[in-house]
A and B are shown apart, each in its own frame.
Chain A
């Protein structure tokens, strides 16, 4: 018996569980590519414009999966007797969390892959071969603050509130971050706020893959957000532990 077997059991159980919930699997996987088809693809006539849009919707896909997996998921499950039961099992708590992380990466990658597939087939979007590797790496790094953002929502919002909160923040921040339309086309107020949003900086990080833009302070700002969201998430986790397991 080793940790790896236990970990795999957790990953398998969670993947099967999620894939069988159409209300989770379908919107998570399809919304980003659908939004891309409807709102971005028609205007993506040049290679640069199309590639930029594709990268924006990759960010949109990753953010959606992390906010829903960690925000809505944690919030709904932490109150369940099943979570309490799992603590009586010999598995470390981290196995459960690790499985959630792996699932988020799988779903995030699938959701982003659908955007990439559609964009490269139906629009002029294209990256250099090493650009794709860079994109995968940046999407992974840039996803970290959103995982922590999700956890902060998940541990502070109760089951029913988490879904609307995650939804509203997801849509507002994506819009304000210039993921649906280039930041230059945003309304004036949004343009002023935009650079301070984590979504915008995630976008900047991914757009830099094209080589035509520099990421600026994207990593630093995302790092700062990771620290802030992380602290809120840890405080929420401790509060939950105190209430349920003290």
Chain B
């Protein structure tokens, strides 16, 4: 297994941030960790990165202690918050990170993949928030790692940049890389991940494919216009809704039936918190 969390617990004082999390991630998977704020996503990732020590349970990467140097040679990470030495240039930072790894990727092509080639000579202190985020992502890949751990990787990126990152992650996983990422964007999990691991209250409450998460609830949305306003009905039996609409001779227009969103599925499995 590339990533193993076994009965993982982290307690701060009396607060159980992570309360017995179990999951394992295999090579080539893209696993998305979802859940409301304070569900224990970041703390779990930090224990897996060796940045925090579990109160109980086991956090392993490549079946070894994440604090082990040989493990970290196979790991790339982007923490939730990033900062850089302000006076170092983008390329210098990338080269500095590359120098720590035995077989780093090509610095220029990695910067290029994250649209940073034009900024290579810019000092990090002069980068915008989105540019900093792209640099934080690029340096996670620069060591040619087998596993990438990303904490909310695309927060602060515009739509286009986000899609480019997704494409890059997909390519990386297709080439045998493994991705463990937390996210607040459900679309991100749905379009990218092969696994959705949903946290709530420090526990894993759901762990399967995003499609399985969606089919967890069978509700449909029935939408129609009535007197110029859009009516939105969520029901577990859309057919019955339509039948009664037709029978009651309501002058509806523009009838639509859609699947409920992943967001609604998430609300169901976490008991109402997203």
Indicate whether A and B interact.
yes
Are the C-beta atoms of A81 and B88 separated by less than 8 Å?
A: no
In Å, the complex CA distance between A93 and B96 comes to: 15
Known interface pairs A85-B82, A87-B50, A87-B51; A16-B100 also in contact (CB < 8 Å): no
Q: Please give, as numbers and ranges, the residues of chain B lying within 8 Å of A16 by CB-CB distance.
A: 87-88, 92
Q: Which B residues lie within 8 Å of A81 (CB)?
A: 79, 81-83
Cross-interface CB contact of B82 among A82, A89, A246, cutoff 8 Å: A82
Residues of A contacting B93 with CB < 8 Å?
A: 13
Q: How far does the alpha carbon of A85 sit from the alpha carbon of B81 in the complex, in Å?
A: 9
- A88→B100 contact, CB < 8 A: no
Which of A1, A13, A80 is in CB contact (< 8 Å) with B102? Answer: A1
- Neighbour of A82 across the interface among B49, B84, B99, CB < 8 A: B84
Residues of B contacting A91 in the complex (Cβ-Cβ under 8 angstroms):
100
Q: Do A85 and B100 contact each other (CB < 8 Å), given the known contacts A16-B92, A90-B69?
A: no
CA distance in complex: A5, B143 (Å): 14
Interface flags, A67-103, vs B, CB<8A=1, else 0: 0000000000000111011011111100000000000
**Of A1, A5, A89, A92, most B-chain CB atoms within 10 Å:** A89
7 additional A-B pairs beyond A20-B123, A84-B79, A84-B81, beta carbons within 8 Å, are A21-B87, A80-B83, A81-B82, A88-B75, A90-B69, A90-B72, A90-B73
Residue B52 interfacial (CB < 8 Å):
yes
Q: How far is the CA of A9 from the CA of B69 in the complex (A)?
A: 17
**In chain A, residues 12-44, which have Cβ atoms closer than 8 Å to a Cβ of chain B?**
12-13, 16-17, 20-21
B196 at interface by CB-CB < 8 Å: no
Q: Mark B98-139, 1 if CB is under 8 A from A, else 0.
A: 011110000000000000000000010000000000001000
In the assembly, what is the distance between CA of A229 and CA of B60, in Å? 37
Interface residues of A in 217-246 (CB under 8 A from B): 245-246
B101 and A245: CB pair below 8 A? no
Dominant secondary structure of chain A at its interface with chain B: helix
The answer to whether A17 touches B83 (Cβ under 8 A) is no
Size of B's binding interface in residues, CB under 8 A: 32
Residue B77 lies at the interface, judged by CB distance under 8 Å to chain A: yes
Per-residue interface assignment for chain B, residues 39 to 76, with 1 indicating a CB less than 8 Å from any chain A CB and 0 otherwise: 00000000001111100000000000000010011011
The minimal Cβ–Cβ distance linking A210 to chain B, given in whole angstroms, is 40
Counting from the closest, the 6 A-B pairs by CB-CB distance are: A9-B99, A20-B87, A1-B102, A88-B77, A81-B81, A90-B72
A and B contact pairs by CB, cutoff 8 A, 23 listed? A8-B99, A13-B88, A16-B88, A16-B92, A17-B85, A17-B87, A17-B88, A20-B87, A20-B88, A81-B83, A82-B85, A84-B51, A84-B79, A85-B82, A87-B51, A88-B49, A88-B50, A88-B75, A89-B100, A90-B69, A90-B73, A92-B69, A245-B52
- Which residue of chain B has its CB nearest to the CB of A13? B96
Nearest CB on B from A227, distance (A): 29
Q: Which chain A residues in 127-175 approach chain B with CB under 8 Å?
A: none
Q: Contact check, B69 vs A85: say whether CB atoms are below 8 A apart.
A: no
CA A13 to CA B100, docked complex, whole Å: 12
Whether A13 lies near B82 (C-beta < 8 A) is no
Asked whether any CB of chain B lies closer than 8 Å to the CB of A6, the reply is: yes
Convert B233-250 into 0s and 1s, putting 1 for each residue whose CB lies closer than 8 angstroms to a CB of A.
000000000000000000
**Assuming the A-B contacts A13-B96, A88-B77, are A1 and B123 also in contact, with contact meaning beta carbons closer than 8 angstroms in the complex?**
no
